[in-house]
Amino acid sequence: MASTEQSCVHPPSTLRQDFEEKRRLTWIGTLGPVAPLRVSPRSAVHPYAAIVLVLKGESRVRHAGDLVLRAGDVHLIPPGDAHGREHSDAQGLGLGFYPEALSPNAEEREARLGPLLRVRAGCHPVLRPTSVQRRRLLRWMRLMEEEQTRNERGNEEASLSLLRLVLIELERMASPEALTEPASVGLSRRALTYIETHCLEPLSLAKVARELGRSAPHVAGVVRQETGRTVGEWILECRMAEARSRLRHTDERVDIVADRVGYADVTHFIRLFRRVHGVTPAAWRRRMAPGVR
């Protein structure tokens, strides 16, 4: 009986690896002196959103300026936002999730990402909740942590429901004062926002630059410098996120999925998908089927 119970528990390292390789849509765990984020000491950029609740200590982080995070603070990091060193001087809970986890519908995803998208638009990335809000947020995050470690029926659905509660709590924390706090809106942030909104349309560096009113070389250089990725790589990332969502949530044929995410040539789409994920779209869909690990 004991061996059966043990087999239902996912090792933390496997969970994090599955998340980094996009086999899981969410990950949550301890950050800080015990288990720091694996990032460069200078800067980091990732395609998922991150929420950090500081539990103990104090940490200095660079993100839209120099930040000092203290116990009780909540740090919001939108997908693609460059930020500094890990939260290694403080202990906290870190929650990462891919936007596609929220809904297969792009408009619904955008609505639920409200607090993080406002950071992308220039709002301050740190929320300072009341004690009641902080206790509720901690409760939802701890429950998510429990759910992800057990391979029980319905645990993915439970985790996603708890993620929605986390995002609702963040909306409640975002007071009018927080929403109007000044912060600079960088060119790379505006570029990423445009890419996320228009990635399923015919899109290129030239079109992004034209919409931003800058030259293509300038936009390319700024995005590469601030995020470590090219505009083309971000377009690919956004399209692959939509493809994963459709493969997971619909029974559309692969050629239809390819067309939906901007690729008229299904062979080209399959080649790109395999390059990003290591397997074909059909194999990825089979692997993500309920009950398959």
Tens digits of residue pLDDT in 150-176: 877 888 889 999 999 999 999 888 755
* Whether pTM exceeds 0.85: no
| Integer angstrom CA distances of residue 146 from 9, 26, 28, 178, 183 | 10, 13, 9, 31, 36
Domain, as residue range, for 27: 2-179
Last residue of a domain, one of 131, 152, 179: 179
Residue 292 lies in a domain: no
Both 57 and 96 in a single domain?
A: yes
pLDDT of 292 over the 90 cut: no
Last residue of a domain, one of 156, 179, 202: 179
Last residue of a domain, one of 135, 163, 179: 179
pLDDT of 258 over the 70 cut: yes
Phi, psi of 190 (to 5 degrees): -65, -40
Residue 138 lies in a domain: yes
pLDDT of 230: 94
pLDDT of 180: 43
pLDDT of 102: 86
Both 175 and 191 in a single domain?
A: no
Residue 238 lies in a domain: yes
What domain count does the chain have? 2
Both 64 and 170 in a single domain?
A: yes
Transcribe the chain into DSSP letters: -HHHHHHTB--HHHHHHHHHTTSSSEEEEEESSSS-----SS-B--SSEEEEEEEEEEEEEESSSEEEEETT-EEEE-TT--B-S-STTEEEEEEEE-GGGT-SSHHHHHHHTHHHHHHHTT--SEE---HHHHHHHHHHHHHHHHHHTB--TTHHHHHHHHHHHHHHHHHHH--HHHHT------HHHHHHHHHHHHTTSS--HHHHHHHHTS-HHHHHHHHHHHHSS-HHHHHHHHHHHHHHHHHHH----HHHHHHHTT-S-HHHHHHHHHHHHSS-HHHHHHHTSTT--
What's 120's domain CATH number?
2.60.120.280
Strand partners, 193: none
Phi, psi of 152 (to 5 degrees): -110, 160
Residue 293 lies in a domain: no
Give 178's pLDDT tier (boundaries 50, 70, 90): very low
Rounded distance, CA 224 to CA 38, Å? 20
Nearest to 99 by CA among 120, 78, 75: 78
